[in-house]
């Protein structure tokens, strides 16, 4: 499984790419493979405040609907219109064009609660 080293991972299979105080969030390659064909993404509202672990978005596949949880607390500052128009991007490019939302991180210390790539790899092992 592909687990980019620069990302941090939640045990619920979301990834976060931190750039300053902005975290880009999507689901891992492992999670998209488990879901199979993603057919719909429900994006969160801009400006919404979320706490780490809050259900924030929904990804629906041919198999099931799954909540996407906020890996850290913050405010939704951007959503990805590409995955709304083409949900399959979550499957084909989960770490690139298939990101789901961006949030302004409220407490940078929460990032240390996320797994690094090797720990996440061991979790899904």
Euclidean distance between CA atoms 43 and 38, whole angstroms: 14
For 58-102, the pLDDT digits (tens) are 999 998 999 999 999 999 999 999 999 999 999 999 999 999 999
Mean pLDDT of the chain: 96
pTM for the structure as a whole = 0.96
Structural domain total, the chain? 1
**The two structure tokens encoding residue 61:** 């596949």
Residue 124: inside a domain = no
Q: In terms of Cα–Cα distance, which of 4, 3, 14 is closest to 74? A: 14
Residue 48 included in any domain:
yes
Task: Give me the phi and psi of 102, to 5 degrees please.
Answer: -120, 140
Instruction: Check residue 2 and give its pLDDT.
Output: 75
**CATH code: domain of residue 69:** 2.40.50.100
* 67 within domain boundaries: yes
- Domain interval for residue 67: 8-105
């Amino acid at each position: 499984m592909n687990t980019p080293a620069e990302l941090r991972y939640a045990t619920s299979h979301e990834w976060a790419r931190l750039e300053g105080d902005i975290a880009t969030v999507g689901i891992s390659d492992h999670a998209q493979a488990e879901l199979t064909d993603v057919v719909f993404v429900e994006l969160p509202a801009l400006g919404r405040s979320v706490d780490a672990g809050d259900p924030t978005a929904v990804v629906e596949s041919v198999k099931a609907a799954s909540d996407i949880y906020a890996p850290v607390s913050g405010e939704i500052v951007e959503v990805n219109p590409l995955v709304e128009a083409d949900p399959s991007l979550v499957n084909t490019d989960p770490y690139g064009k298939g990101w789901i939302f961006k949030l302004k991180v409220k407490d940078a210390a929460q990032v240390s609660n996320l797994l690094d790539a090797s720990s996440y790899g061991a979790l899904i092992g």
